[in-house]
Amino acid sequence: MDMDGDWPLPRLNAPFRINRRPPGSSLSKASSIASTFSSLATPVVAEAVQRARELSTQSDVEGFHQLRVAFRKLRALYWAYSPYLGEEATAHATGEFKRLAAVAGGTRDWDIAGDLLISAQQSGAPIELLVAAAREKRAQAALHTQTMIKSDAVEAFLNDVLLRAQTTLQSRCDDLPIRAFAEKRVQLAQRALQKRSLRVARSETAHEEGLHDVRKAGKKLRYLLEFFQPVIKGGRGRTIRELTSVQNKLGQFNDIAASENLIRSASFNEVPPEVVQHSLRWLEEQKCRRMRAASRRVRNIVG
């Protein structure tokens, strides 16, 4: 897939400067909406560029994971600033962030599935052939990610969308203070999470889709709180910790559900069908257990 279908990629005249400061480290309540975006986006862009560069020489688990996280954070940030960035510009940028996160996540998904299959094997499941096949799938996914994500193209694309966003914000909200805006966007994200959590809590039976929606809404809220913590009332440090705890529980369920879907949709020509089915039954049992645990955690929060 061509990354520059919507965005013309400029030639870089100078190397990208890696900003090691954490997002929000230079924020203050007196900052403008426009200047705050730059302070928040620049280090996340730098992280994505650095991780994309590293993919050309290595394929470690953490690298793929952190690259996906960087693109997810950028999606959350662009959502936060979308009232001033505009619907079309936000859709263009976040659509590409989503695609790049999915490409980076393909390898990560096979890492998780492989670890779960090893756990199943250790519990006595006769799935050695499937474990080996999953390793091969992981290697293929890593090669695909490295082929699809070229650091120069990613760097040029991110520089371009960042420059476009900064130019738009400077023309529309350069003199508007950040605090009230940040609190409003956080409140909207919080309401979305509460609405989705209530839907799960009121349901008599747990549903994968509902839990997945809660997980996505919680992740967006957590990212926004981490971004805006220096300028919103109360700092919300405790809320961030609580969200992280909930996300861990929901993430455990999601790992199982995603791995089950991944194995179901993959083809394993060298693996007998009964071996694949055995692994799927094991994953289904684990998924049901973790789904119940995740649902209880969501209900506790609502309560």
Residue 244: CATH number of its domain? 1.40.20.10
For all residues of the chain together, what is the average pLDDT?
A: 86
Instruction: Report yes or no on 13 lying in a domain.
Output: no
Q: Which amino acid appears at position 109 of this protein? A: D
Q: 27 in a domain, yes or no?
A: no
Q: How far is CA 290 from CA 142, 151, 208, in A?
A: 28, 37, 11
Helices H, strands E: what count in the chain? 9, 0
Contact (CB, 8 A) for 101 and 76: no
pLDDT for 72-130, tens place per residue?
999 999 999 999 999 999 999 999 999 999 998 899 999 999 999 999 999 887 899 99
Q: What percent of the chain has pLDDT over 70?
A: 90
What is the domain count for the chain? 1
Domain annotation covers residue 5: no
Question: Is the residue at 18 inside a domain?
Answer: no
Which residues does 123 contact at the CB level (< 8 Å), separation at least 6? Answer: 282
Record the tokens describing residue 92, joined without a space: 């263009």
Residue closest to 288 by CA, chosen among 263, 239, 252:
252
83 assigned to some structural domain: yes
In sequence order, the 6+-apart residues with CB closer than 8 A to the CB of 7 are 92, 96, 157, 160, 161
113 falls within a domain: yes
Tens of pLDDT, residue by residue over 179-206, are 999 999 999 999 999 999 999 888 877 6
Q: Residue 152 is part of which domain span?
A: 33-302
Q: 104 lies in a domain?
A: yes
CA dihedral 15, 70, 260, 192 (to 10 degrees): -150
Task: Please indicate, yes or no, if residue 17 is contained in any of the structural domains.
Answer: no
